[in-house]
Amino acid sequence: MPPTVDPRDLMAAVEAVLPWLDGVEDTLDRPKLAAAVRLSLRTLAQDAPGKSVEVRVPPFAAVQCVQGIRHTRGTPPNVIEMDARTWLELATGRLTWVDALAGDRVAASGSRADLSALLPLLRAGS
């Protein structure tokens, strides 16, 4: 089991990418982006423990979360995939789940592939 995410570490990692999310900076240091994605995904897995849904943010990380039927082999029946910007906008409340789906920014398959009740994970910046 991965170590518990300290909320202060998550906030610091996310705050480091806010200028990029807000469009103030055009480029972002890849290690900063990776840290924000990984810590926020681990936080999601902590907040909604389980193995019925797999959330993927390639190339940075994937986690299994949400209580339900455990998946053990092959492609999980409930998969959610998106890019790093979309994930971080969802995690910080800059984007709603409904708008992400409507804008085709998230690929979600399976009856449990809905994170709307779990987001945002935190509200960072404005």
How many domains does the structure of the chain reveal? Answer: 1
Mean of the per-residue pLDDT values of the chain: 92
Q: Is residue 123 part of a domain?
A: no
Phi, psi values for residue 24, rounded to 5°: -75, -35
**DSSP H/E element including 64:** strand 61-65
Structural domain that includes position 96: 7-118
Q: Is residue 2 part of a domain?
A: no
Q: Is residue 61 part of a domain?
A: yes
pLDDT tens profile 105-114: 999 999 899 9
- Cα atoms in the 13 Å half-sphere on the side-chain side of 19: 8
Residue 11, domain CATH? 3.30.1050.40
Residue 17's alpha-carbon distances to 10, 27, 35, 112, in angstroms, are 11, 10, 10, 29
Q: Is residue 70 part of a domain?
A: yes
Mean pLDDT of all residues in 4-8? 94
Q: Is residue 125 part of a domain?
A: no
Q: pTM for the whole thing?
A: 0.92
